[in-house]
Structure 1
Amino acid sequence: MNLLPIFLVGLMGSVHCIGMCGGIVGALSSAAPARASGRPAPAPAQVCVMAAQPVRGTPRVIPLHFVGPAQLQAFGQDLVRVLGYNLGRLSSYTLAGALAGGIAAGLLRGADVLGWMAPAQTVAYVITNLILILLGLYLTQWWSGMSRMEQLGSGLWARLRPHAARLVPVDTPAKAVLLGSLWGWLPCGMVYSALLTALMAGSAWQGALTMLSFGVGTLPVLLVAGMSGARLRQLVARAWVRRSAGVIVLAFGLLGLLRVAEIGGLGIARGWIDVFCVSPVHGG
């Protein structure tokens, strides 16, 4: 399976992750053990810098925040914890993708025995790209149907939530990874749409790679969100950011349908369009 569009879908769709999971990222950060210190925080240092052309002889004062060993250690601990959360999350995505791809592999083998392989591949390809179109509409907020899919997974999360509570405070990297692995099962329409794509991958390992690529696509934004807090959430909350990302994902699905419709002779270079198309591993 071509994994580039799956990665880009995760990257573009991560604006939804911030909207839905931003509060979870904040909660995970607050789940860290409180840092006790016997010394007060150092006050910002100040230096006087003479302007090139001082006005009336008055120097400019530029505040410089002191960064000492304690601050660097705290930053390192936060980074390890955020990396642990996301490592666990990606592990859950990969496991779910392997399960979905494995189920599909059995169905495809049955279709092959019955002589339905080619029609099944075509149907899988069309469904995969229709899912991308629906995901694009969901990200642009032009259609909210995938929110119903999130409600379907709420029962599973209700069972996992007590286990997550036992891991607080997150005072070791192992706890961070375990808590992140539970986070990966949080009901999310975007993740479910990626899982449906993994279902069409044709094998367990292709399904695992599909979900891993999707998860890696979401990684940059969620890593920055975990370290920067509300600033990034304020940016991606803007309507034009979500809609731009949604339109890009929508375009992936439309390109895929163009490919399956075999209208590349209208001036669309097949080699170029194939790079941005999601297709099952057995697809032609």
Structure 2
Amino acid sequence: MTTALLVAALLMGFFGSPHCLGMCGGLVTAFGLSMKDVSPAKRRALVMTYHLGRLTSYAFLGLIAGLIGITVLEPLMKGNSTPRILLGLVLVFVGMTMLGAPFLNKLERFGMRFWQYLSPLRQKVFPLNTFPRALTAGLLWGFLPCGLVYGALLIAVVAHNPLSGAALMFVFGLGTVPMLVATHETVGWLRDKIGRFRLRQLNGSVMVLSGLAVVFVPIAMSSMHGGHSGGHTQMDHSSHSAMVSDADTAPSHDMSQMSHNITPEMDHSMHDMDDSPASMHHSQ
């Protein structure tokens, strides 16, 4: 897994955190009310504890996603460009989701059924006045249905590595922490800045463009390299043919020259041999 994927996951979590606040705001409020009787220092420690539990759940889900990738997808992707193309398509899909496409709404509704199933267990962790309760609450919180989380899990699947999937989801969770632990005033400021500059949409656009680049840039480069190699091959073939032609012609030319030089000398020698008997007869 490259650093670029980790950065993408971190930014996805941070710029998508206003959506997280909408989904998790009620839960955060309930957690806060349950800690009203503890000291401020312990309260801060409890908040960090349940966020640690949430990130642990994300990492666990990322581990499962990576296992799915390595067991189901890996055998189908050996020796070809499928991993790269699949990663690019997932980035495009997640980027469009951040731009507002309702691709994961049905999956969120399905996850809500599981969340309701956990309701009796969730009730037992209140009030969050001890660290084990806070940690358990955070672990359960990680299973709250969220389209943004599901999008990050898709990236973890195509990473087809369990440890990489866990790291990616943990980093994604880190990106959501600032919005969820900020004070009311800071939350308002963050939401205003992210909304005013359309940072979520900007990040979604970057992810779409990155996905398209992952898919198509290597194809274009391969095509260009193939044409360039083809030109070299044709030139090499032409040069080879020319060399062979020269090699075939050179001996013929040399033999012709030798024949031209030898023939007059042989004719002259033969003429001398013909004249020799006559000379000998005359002398006798």
When the two structures are superposed, what TM-score results if normalisation uses the length of structure 2? 0.69
Moved over 3 A (4+): 263-266
Q: Which amino acid aligns with 1:4?
A: V
Q: 1:144 to 1:85 in 2, by over 3 A?
A: same
The question of 1:250 aligning with 2:205 is answered yes
What corresponds to 2:114 in structure 1? 156
Aligned partners of 2:178, 2:194: CA distance in 1, in Å?
Answer: 20
CA contact (8 A) 1:167 1:179 kept: yes
Which has the larger Rg?
2
* Greater fraction helix: 2
Aligned partners of 2:194, 2:10: CA distance in 1, in Å?
Answer: 22
What corresponds to 2:281 in structure 1? none
Equivalence map 1:119-138=2 (5 Å): 119-138=81-100
Q: 1:178 to 1:237 in 2, by over 3 A?
A: farther
* Distance apart, 1:238 and its partner CA: 8.0
Q: Which amino acid aligns with 2:67?
A: G
Q: What does the per-residue CA deviation read over 1:27-82, in whole Å, with 9 as the maximum and x for residues that have no partner?
A: 111122535xxxxxxxxxxxxxxxxxxxxxxxxxxxxxxxxxxxxxx321221111
Aligned partners of 2:86, 2:219: CA distance in 1, in Å?
Answer: 20
* Distance apart, 1:233 and its partner CA: 4.8
**Match of residue 26, structure 1, among 21, 26, 29:** 29
Equivalence map 1:12-51=2 (5 Å): 12-32=15-35, 34=37
Q: 1:21 to 1:258 in 2, by over 3 A?
A: same
Equivalence map 1:267-278=2 (5 Å): none
The question of 1:76 aligning with 2:31 is answered no
Aligned CA RMSD, in angstroms, stands at 2.5
Aligned partners of 2:103, 2:73: CA distance in 1, in Å?
Answer: 28
Q: Which amino acid aligns with 2:195?
A: W
* Distance apart, 1:149 and its partner CA: 2.1
Runs of 5+ unmatched residues, structure 2: 222-284
Aligned partners of 2:169, 2:194: CA distance in 1, in Å?
Answer: 27
Tell which has more relative contact order, 1 or 2 (C-alpha 8 A, sep 6+). 1
Aligned partners of 2:74, 2:213: CA distance in 1, in Å?
Answer: 27
Q: Which amino acid aligns with 2:152?
A: A
CA contact (8 A) 1:31 1:168 kept: yes
When the two structures are superposed, what TM-score results if normalisation uses the length of structure 1? 0.69
The SS at the match of 2:199 is: helix
Identity of aligned residues (%): 31
